Amino acid sequence: MKLRKLLVSSCSLIALSISAAASAKPVPLPDPGIKGYNFPEDKEKLMGWINAGNSNEIYLHGWGLWTSLTAPSGQNEYGLTNVPVYMTWLTPAEIAALPRLKATEKKVDLPAKRTFLLEKPRQLTHKAKGLEQAATGVESSAASSSVTPLSIRDTNIVVTMGYDPAAQDFAYHNNLFSLKALQAFYNSGSGNIRSIPVFPNNAVTVKPTYKVITKASMLNGSIYVMPAWPGTPPVVTPEISANGFPETSWPGCVYINTKNTGTSTAASVDKDCTAGSNASNTYGLGDFVYYPVTKDNIAAFKVLVSGQEKLAVGDVIVLMAMHVTSREIDEWTWQTYFWTPDPTSPPLPSSSAIASARPAQLTGAAAHYAMAIGYQMVTPNQPAVGGQSVGGPVVAYNPYLEAGFNAATFGTPPVNVGILAPGSQTPYMATVGIQTNCMTCHGNATVDPSNPNPNTNALPYLTNFYVSREDQSFKGFLQLDFLWSIQGTAK
């Protein structure tokens, strides 16, 4: 089978250059056995689906990636047994820390001991305009001094990153996390448009996003409370424009019974966060991809968020969301996943149509997540170079990662954008996080290698419109093949 052969080739490439120590054996994406899904998919086939608007094929491809990367890897990491495939992948920081090969060496050892490092998303401080309120911790209620669901619900998120073996190998051998190496790529270019070498078509990167369940965020010692994503607001109000729509603004709650390690029958939310925990809105840990903190693995976890630095035995790390991108097309494929109470009928930016495309092979906790997907910036699709910002918007963002962005987070959109709001002739002026598109924003992933300050050495984030790869805005910057993680890690 095409997929099997390609994966074997990828593994062989890694084995030639990188030697895996006892606890670090990055696993390539496995074959999930889904009819109609291949990885890496032929670029021309993918582009045919995109240009023809074949949504079902695109949805199935996104679900195939999710099924593969959340599949059991068969190996142990961080003191956890049989972790999902994505947890075996090295972070950009780990790749950057690998010793450089000397002329007489043929391979470099991967780290024998790894730390599961969780930190506040860097995007909250990108260009010094991030929104700290997007992850501010346990809320406080002015209405009552007693402990209520609203007063104790946890709005913290923490993230990590992962590069699959193909992306890891490419980033390592091109030394992409070195500003000196990036400067050399810039110097070797010509004209206004300069770029790093492009990643191979089987490269995948992920951004897992978690919540850390601690005793401080529990009711009655066992019920964890967190906001419930209500769906994309129908209009951008002045308040959303000024503050974004972070978790602190979401009206409802869901509950997790930490004593229930199995699943539940719940499928709803406590809409105003006042009803309290009951059978309809309280979920088991088995409804989530999660990792318990035990005495045997506590030393492997490190959380860099105020108030959560010191984990305790009995705490739980719960997967809430994940950005996933693959280099199968020139502008990468973009899909993002988030936990949702009712995965058969998820709210925007996902949909029931997306949910109905889930394959039978997607089972267990991973099937409790929704997907938003955007393989193009606008519709109809535009070419990577020389297109126009016209047509309709393609919205693809993650509630846990971009919804908190306000208008100040982004660069100024182009004048007279020719994108129309769905179903009308009104110009669609995307200004906030709930109006973003992964491809548009990551297309601006750049660095000025001569500037060591990561908060000022790149172009700003963008919302939802078309940008040509030869746009004049790239003058003076090095394009990073759509990967902001390079800009955020390079030193």
Q: Are 387 and 466 in contact (CB under 8 A)?
A: yes
pLDDT of 3: 39
- The pTM for the full model equals 0.93
Is the distance from CB of 342 to CB of 215 less than 8 angstroms?
no
pLDDT at 308: 65
pLDDT score at 104: 77
pLDDT of residue 343: 98
pLDDT means over runs of 10, the chain (491 residues) = 35 40 79 98 98 98 98 95 97 95 80 90 62 47 65 94 97 97 96 95 98 89 96 96 97 97 97 95 98 96 79 95 98 98 98 98 98 97 95 96 95 74 87 97 97 92 95 96 97 94
Compute the distance between CA of residue 390 and CA of residue 91 in angstroms, rounded to an integer. 37
Checking 391-394 for CB contacts under 8 A at 24+ apart, the result is: 391/418, 391/419, 391/420, 392/419, 392/420, 392/422, 392/428, 393/419, 393/421, 393/422, 393/428, 393/430, 393/435, 393/437, 393/464, 393/465, 394/437, 394/464
Name the DSSP letter for residue 415: T
Residue 23 is predicted with a pLDDT of: 55
pLDDT, position 138: 53
Q: Which of 44, 99, 77, 483 is nearest to 291 (CA)?
A: 77
The candidate with the shortest Cα–Cα distance to 354, out of 63, 13, 37, 7, is: 63
Task: Identify residue 198 by its one-letter amino acid code.
Answer: V
How far apart CA 77 and CA 483 sit, in angstroms, is 26
- On whether the CB atoms of residues 392 and 378 are closer than 8 A, the answer is yes
For residue 112, the model assigns a pLDDT of 82
Which is nearest to 172 in space by CA: 184, 160, 161, 181? 181
Give the per-residue pLDDT at 111: 84
- Are 240 and 408 within 8 A, CB to CB? no
Phi, psi of 304 (to 5 degrees): -110, 65
Strand partners, 28: none
CB neighbours of residue 325 within 10 Å: 25
- Check residue 75 and give its pLDDT: 93
